[in-house]
Amino acid sequence: MSSRNEELLSPPSIDERVLDAARRCLLRAGGRRLTLAEVAREAGVSRPTVYRRWPQLESVIGDVLTRDLLRLIADVAPAGNDLESQVARIVAVAEAIRDDELLSELIKNQPDVLAPYIFARFGSSQLGALQVIEAGIAAGQRAGEIRAGDPSALAAMVLTVTQAAVQSYAQLAPVLGDGWSTELYAVLHGYLASPHHAPTH
Protein backbone atom coordinates (compact mmCIF):
# COMPACT_ATOMS: atom_id res chain seq x y z
CA MET A 1 0.00 0.00 0.00
CA SER A 2 1.41 3.41 -0.95
CA SER A 3 1.79 6.10 1.67
CA ARG A 4 -0.47 8.34 -0.49
CA ASN A 5 -3.31 5.82 -0.30
CA GLU A 6 -2.73 5.31 3.40
CA GLU A 7 -3.13 9.01 4.01
CA LEU A 8 -6.71 8.75 2.72
CA LEU A 9 -7.47 6.89 5.93
CA SER A 10 -8.13 9.06 8.95
CA PRO A 11 -4.91 9.69 10.93
CA PRO A 12 -6.31 8.18 14.15
CA SER A 13 -7.00 4.92 12.28
CA ILE A 14 -3.41 4.74 11.07
CA ASP A 15 -2.06 5.73 14.48
CA GLU A 16 -4.04 3.02 16.24
CA ARG A 17 -2.94 0.41 13.71
CA VAL A 18 0.69 1.32 14.22
CA LEU A 19 0.43 1.42 18.01
CA ASP A 20 -1.37 -1.94 18.05
CA ALA A 21 1.33 -3.35 15.80
CA ALA A 22 4.11 -1.98 18.02
CA ARG A 23 2.42 -3.57 21.03
CA ARG A 24 2.32 -6.97 19.31
CA CYS A 25 5.97 -6.63 18.29
CA LEU A 26 7.00 -5.80 21.85
CA LEU A 27 5.11 -8.79 23.22
CA ARG A 28 6.96 -11.23 21.02
CA ALA A 29 10.35 -9.50 20.96
CA GLY A 30 11.73 -11.34 23.98
CA GLY A 31 14.44 -8.75 24.50
CA ARG A 32 15.31 -8.47 20.81
CA ARG A 33 15.54 -4.87 19.65
CA LEU A 34 12.76 -3.77 17.34
CA THR A 35 12.95 -1.44 14.35
CA LEU A 36 10.44 1.00 12.94
CA ALA A 37 10.51 -0.99 9.70
CA GLU A 38 9.34 -4.10 11.58
CA VAL A 39 6.52 -2.13 13.19
CA ALA A 40 5.48 -0.79 9.77
CA ARG A 41 5.39 -4.31 8.30
CA GLU A 42 3.31 -5.55 11.23
CA ALA A 43 0.88 -2.65 10.81
CA GLY A 44 0.63 -3.16 7.06
CA VAL A 45 1.69 0.39 6.25
CA SER A 46 4.70 1.89 4.52
CA ARG A 47 7.78 2.94 6.41
CA PRO A 48 7.40 6.64 5.43
CA THR A 49 3.92 6.59 6.97
CA VAL A 50 5.41 5.50 10.30
CA TYR A 51 8.48 7.73 10.06
CA ARG A 52 6.40 10.86 9.53
CA ARG A 53 4.55 10.24 12.79
CA TRP A 54 7.32 8.66 14.88
CA PRO A 55 10.86 9.47 13.75
CA GLN A 56 12.32 7.17 16.42
CA LEU A 57 11.34 3.78 17.82
CA GLU A 58 11.40 5.19 21.34
CA SER A 59 8.62 7.62 20.47
CA VAL A 60 6.38 4.77 19.29
CA ILE A 61 7.07 2.77 22.45
CA GLY A 62 6.39 5.84 24.57
CA ASP A 63 3.00 6.32 22.90
CA VAL A 64 2.12 2.65 23.36
CA LEU A 65 2.98 2.83 27.06
CA THR A 66 1.07 6.08 27.50
CA ARG A 67 -2.02 4.73 25.79
CA ASP A 68 -1.99 1.49 27.77
CA LEU A 69 -1.36 3.17 31.11
CA LEU A 70 -4.07 5.78 30.63
CA ARG A 71 -6.52 3.05 29.66
CA LEU A 72 -5.67 1.12 32.82
CA ILE A 73 -6.21 4.25 34.91
CA ALA A 74 -9.51 4.99 33.18
CA ASP A 75 -10.73 1.46 33.86
CA VAL A 76 -10.40 1.99 37.63
CA ALA A 77 -13.39 3.80 39.12
CA PRO A 78 -12.73 7.42 40.13
CA ALA A 79 -11.95 7.84 43.81
CA GLY A 80 -13.71 9.99 46.36
CA ASN A 81 -11.87 12.73 48.20
CA ASP A 82 -11.26 10.60 51.29
CA LEU A 83 -7.78 9.20 51.88
CA GLU A 84 -8.86 5.57 51.81
CA SER A 85 -10.50 5.92 48.39
CA GLN A 86 -7.53 7.78 46.94
CA VAL A 87 -5.02 5.20 48.13
CA ALA A 88 -7.24 2.28 47.12
CA ARG A 89 -7.44 3.65 43.59
CA ILE A 90 -3.66 3.98 43.31
CA VAL A 91 -3.23 0.39 44.53
CA ALA A 92 -5.89 -0.83 42.09
CA VAL A 93 -4.04 0.81 39.20
CA ALA A 94 -0.77 -0.72 40.44
CA GLU A 95 -2.41 -4.15 40.45
CA ALA A 96 -3.68 -3.58 36.90
CA ILE A 97 -0.19 -2.59 35.74
CA ARG A 98 1.33 -5.58 37.51
CA ASP A 99 -1.09 -7.93 35.73
CA ASP A 100 -1.10 -6.23 32.31
CA GLU A 101 0.26 -8.49 29.59
CA LEU A 102 2.57 -5.97 27.94
CA LEU A 103 3.78 -4.10 31.01
CA SER A 104 4.50 -7.29 32.95
CA GLU A 105 6.41 -8.65 29.94
CA LEU A 106 8.55 -5.51 29.75
CA ILE A 107 9.21 -5.47 33.49
CA LYS A 108 10.23 -9.14 33.58
CA ASN A 109 11.99 -9.66 30.28
CA GLN A 110 12.70 -6.31 28.62
CA PRO A 111 13.62 -3.87 31.41
CA ASP A 112 15.95 -1.99 29.05
CA VAL A 113 12.88 -0.81 27.12
CA LEU A 114 11.46 0.78 30.26
CA ALA A 115 14.75 2.02 31.70
CA PRO A 116 14.80 5.45 29.98
CA TYR A 117 11.31 6.23 31.31
CA ILE A 118 12.07 4.99 34.83
CA PHE A 119 15.63 6.01 35.61
CA ALA A 120 16.42 8.93 33.29
CA ARG A 121 13.21 10.93 33.24
CA PHE A 122 9.46 10.76 33.62
CA GLY A 123 8.06 9.61 30.29
CA SER A 124 4.78 10.81 28.85
CA SER A 125 2.99 7.79 30.34
CA GLN A 126 4.25 8.68 33.80
CA LEU A 127 3.39 12.34 33.34
CA GLY A 128 -0.18 11.30 32.59
CA ALA A 129 -0.27 9.20 35.76
CA LEU A 130 1.24 12.06 37.74
CA GLN A 131 -1.56 14.41 36.68
CA VAL A 132 -4.19 11.95 37.91
CA ILE A 133 -2.41 11.33 41.21
CA GLU A 134 -1.75 15.03 41.77
CA ALA A 135 -5.41 15.92 41.16
CA GLY A 136 -6.51 13.28 43.67
CA ILE A 137 -4.03 14.48 46.27
CA ALA A 138 -5.13 18.10 45.85
CA ALA A 139 -8.77 17.06 46.29
CA GLY A 140 -7.87 15.08 49.39
CA GLN A 141 -5.98 18.05 50.82
CA ARG A 142 -8.97 20.32 50.35
CA ALA A 143 -11.07 17.78 52.20
CA GLY A 144 -8.54 17.64 55.06
CA GLU A 145 -7.83 13.97 54.35
CA ILE A 146 -4.30 14.24 52.96
CA ARG A 147 -1.39 15.99 54.60
CA ALA A 148 -0.17 19.41 53.55
CA GLY A 149 2.54 19.73 50.93
CA ASP A 150 3.06 20.49 47.28
CA PRO A 151 0.65 18.10 45.49
CA SER A 152 3.07 17.67 42.60
CA ALA A 153 5.91 16.67 44.95
CA LEU A 154 3.69 14.24 46.87
CA ALA A 155 2.42 12.77 43.60
CA ALA A 156 5.96 12.27 42.31
CA MET A 157 6.94 10.35 45.43
CA VAL A 158 3.74 8.27 45.34
CA LEU A 159 4.41 7.37 41.71
CA THR A 160 8.04 6.49 42.45
CA VAL A 161 7.14 4.24 45.40
CA THR A 162 4.30 2.55 43.50
CA GLN A 163 6.45 2.08 40.42
CA ALA A 164 9.20 0.47 42.51
CA ALA A 165 6.70 -1.88 44.13
CA VAL A 166 5.38 -2.99 40.74
CA GLN A 167 8.87 -3.51 39.34
CA SER A 168 9.88 -5.52 42.42
CA TYR A 169 6.77 -7.68 42.52
CA ALA A 170 8.58 -10.85 41.40
CA GLN A 171 11.14 -10.44 44.20
CA LEU A 172 8.54 -9.46 46.79
CA ALA A 173 5.96 -12.15 45.98
CA PRO A 174 7.77 -15.00 47.79
CA VAL A 175 7.90 -12.86 50.95
CA LEU A 176 4.60 -10.99 50.79
CA GLY A 177 2.47 -13.49 48.90
CA ASP A 178 -1.09 -12.20 48.63
CA GLY A 179 -0.19 -9.35 50.99
CA TRP A 180 1.57 -7.28 48.30
CA SER A 181 -1.42 -4.99 47.78
CA THR A 182 -2.05 -4.66 51.52
CA GLU A 183 1.54 -3.61 52.20
CA LEU A 184 1.58 -1.12 49.32
CA TYR A 185 -1.68 0.34 50.62
CA ALA A 186 -0.16 0.70 54.10
CA VAL A 187 2.93 2.46 52.77
CA LEU A 188 0.96 4.97 50.68
CA HIS A 189 -1.67 5.51 53.37
CA GLY A 190 1.00 6.29 55.94
CA TYR A 191 2.80 8.67 53.60
CA LEU A 192 -0.27 10.65 52.59
CA ALA A 193 -2.31 10.67 55.80
CA SER A 194 -3.05 14.01 57.42
CA PRO A 195 -1.99 14.17 61.09
CA HIS A 196 -5.66 14.76 61.88
CA HIS A 197 -6.87 11.79 59.90
CA ALA A 198 -8.35 9.01 61.99
CA PRO A 199 -6.41 5.76 61.47
CA THR A 200 -8.17 2.90 59.75
CA HIS A 201 -8.81 -0.36 61.57
CATH of domain 60-192: 1.10.357
- pTM of the shown model: 0.81
Domain positions in the chain are 3-55, 60-192
Q: What's the confidence (pLDDT) of residue 103?
A: 86
Q: What's the confidence (pLDDT) of residue 201?
A: 47
Quote the CA–CA distance of 97 and 200 in Å, as a whole number. 26
Q: What's the confidence (pLDDT) of residue 49?
A: 92
CATH of domain 3-55: 1.10.10
Q: What's the confidence (pLDDT) of residue 145?
A: 93
The DSSP annotation for 1-30 comes to --HHHHTTS-HHHHHHHHHHHHHHHHHHHT
Q: How far is CA 141 from CA 23, 67, 87, 95, 174, in A?
A: 38, 29, 13, 25, 36
Q: What's the confidence (pLDDT) of residue 200?
A: 55
10-residue mean pLDDT series, the chain (201 residues): 49 82 89 85 92 89 87 83 92 91 83 67 74 92 94 94 88 86 96 76 47
